[in-house]
């Protein structure tokens, strides 16, 4: 693990060739993933098989020799453990059969029992056993805000209208819920660390629903509660934490706080400007637009080189996509991207 380029970058060290991994690296764009996936009608059932999770996490490592592995699971395991009844069916996004629709639903929630997510911690152990010994494993959770948004909306949605109405009508209940989720996320991440993960990423995938003030009040404030607890805890205080905020309505420089080792940039962020203002403060991960991977090889190479040359001397750069890879991307295009990263520098 000492020679991990990924961990070096998280400690603000430069690497001659930047480390690379990417969001949804294990997923539907890989035919070997589809082969396993077709044995399950509900995606969550697959997440509950630790050996299968380990096998899926290994797939992109074997294919592309990436510099970090990410736990195969989902951010919505926590609301599921709170008894909201999560299912993912063919061709649909996540759906909760028992979403939060009133203050009473929050008052009557099941107490979070971290042991009910034992299948995730066993997946961490199985994955650590399966991947190369020197390869770091990233654990993760959703931000409390993003988990609350899914839990209230009952699934994905274009406008998250229910969530916004709930926020306007029941702000106090929403704060209670965010508090419950923050504590659950902390316990969940701590247990992932105890099971073997080497870094943590928090996904705030619905940050863009919030205005600048709301982002601080409903999202960052709770994410900070998680990181504060992790940093106060001797078991977890050495683990680097990465934050991904999707298209936030706030300057990225104002999102950084002391517990973060790294900020993962959405593809709309200007990595050049940010690399100047964040130098020596945090590592930067990002941020190739995933849509570039459907372009020609030449365009992919050009866009990759642009990012790599900008970030060449940045202390702590990790190449990543600016959001998850999408199912229609051809693995050969990922190959082109990785070659360009590794040959160019």
Which parts of this chain interact with ligand CP3 (CB under 6 A)?
23-28, 37, 43, 70, 72-76, 88, 93-94, 140, 156, 203, 205, 246, 324
Q: Which residue is nearest to ligand CP3 (CB)?
A: 205
Nearer CB in complex with ligand CP3: 75/340: 75
**Least Cβ distance, residue 12 to ligand CP3 (angstroms):** 24
Dihedral sign (CA 166, 169, 171, 172): negative
Out of 8, 24, 29, 314, which one is annotated catalytic? 24
**Least Cβ distance, residue 217 to ligand CP3 (angstroms):** 21
Nearer CB in complex with ligand CP3: 10/66: 66
DSSP assignment of 55-67 equals: HHHHHHHHHH--S
Q: What whole-number distance in Å separates Cα of residue 267 and Cα of residue 161?
A: 25
Q: 213: which residues sit within 8 A by CB, 6+ positions away?
A: none
Out of 8, 33, 80, 150, which one is annotated catalytic? 150
**Least Cβ distance, residue 284 to ligand CP3 (angstroms):** 18
CB distance 198 to 230 below 8 Å: no
CB distance 108 to 177 below 8 Å: no
- Active-site residue flag, 150: yes
What are the distances in angstroms from CA 287 to CA 89, 175, 264, 277? 30, 32, 8, 16
Rg over alpha carbons for the chain, rounded to the nearest Å, is 19
Out of 28, 63, 122, 342, which one is annotated catalytic? 28
- Active-site residue flag, 74: yes
- Active-site residue flag, 28: yes
Nearer CB in complex with ligand CP3: 149/301: 149
Out of 8, 29, 74, 204, which one is annotated catalytic? 74
- Active-site residue flag, 221: no
Q: What whole-number distance in Å separates Cα of residue 140 and Cα of residue 221?
A: 18
Catalytic annotation, residues: 24, 28, 37, 74, 150
């Amino acid at each position: 693990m000492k020679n991990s380029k990924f961990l070096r970058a998280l400690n603000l060290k430069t690497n001659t060739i930047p480390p690379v991994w990417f969001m949804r690296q294990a997923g539907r764009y890989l035919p070997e993933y589809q082969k396993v996936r077709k044995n399950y009608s509900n995606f969550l059932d697959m997440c509950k098989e630790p050996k299968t999770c380990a096998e899926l996490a290994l797939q992109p490592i074997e294919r592309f020799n990436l510099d970090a592995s990410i736990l195969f699971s989902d951010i919505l395991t926590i609301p599921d453990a709170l008894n909201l009844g999560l299912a993912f069916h063919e061709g649909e996004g996540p759906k909760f059969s028992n979403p939060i629709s009133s203050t009473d639903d929050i008052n009557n929630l099941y107490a979070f029992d971290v042991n009910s997510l034992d299948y995730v911690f066993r997946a961490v152990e199985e994955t650590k056993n399966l991947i190369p010994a020197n390869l770091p494993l990233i654990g993760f959770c959703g931000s409390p805000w993003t988990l609350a948004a899914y839990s209230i909306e009952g699934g994905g949605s274009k406008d998250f209208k229910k969530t916004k109405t709930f926020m306007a009508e029941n702000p106090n209940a929403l704060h209670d819920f965010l508090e419950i989720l923050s504590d659950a996320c902390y316990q969940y991440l701590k247990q992932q660390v105890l099971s073997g993960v080497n870094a943590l990423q928090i996904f705030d995938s619905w940050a863009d629903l919030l205005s600048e003030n709301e982002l601080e009040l409903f999202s960052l404030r709770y994410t900070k509660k998680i990181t504060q607890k992790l940093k106060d805890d001797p078991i977890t205080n050495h683990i680097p934490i990465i934050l991904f905020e999707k298209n936030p309505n706030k300057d990225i420089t104002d999102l950084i706080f002391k517990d973060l080792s790294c900020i993962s940039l959405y593809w709309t962020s200007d990595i050049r400007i940010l690399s100047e203002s964040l130098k020596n403060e945090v590592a930067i991960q990002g941020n190739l637009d995933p849509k570039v991977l459907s372009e020609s090889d030449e365009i992919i190479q050009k866009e990759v080189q642009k990012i790599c040359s900008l970030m060449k001397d940045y202390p702590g750069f990790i190449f990543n996509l600016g959001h998850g890879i999408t199912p229609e991307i051809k693995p050969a295009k990922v190959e082109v991207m990785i070659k360009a990263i590794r040959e160019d520098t």
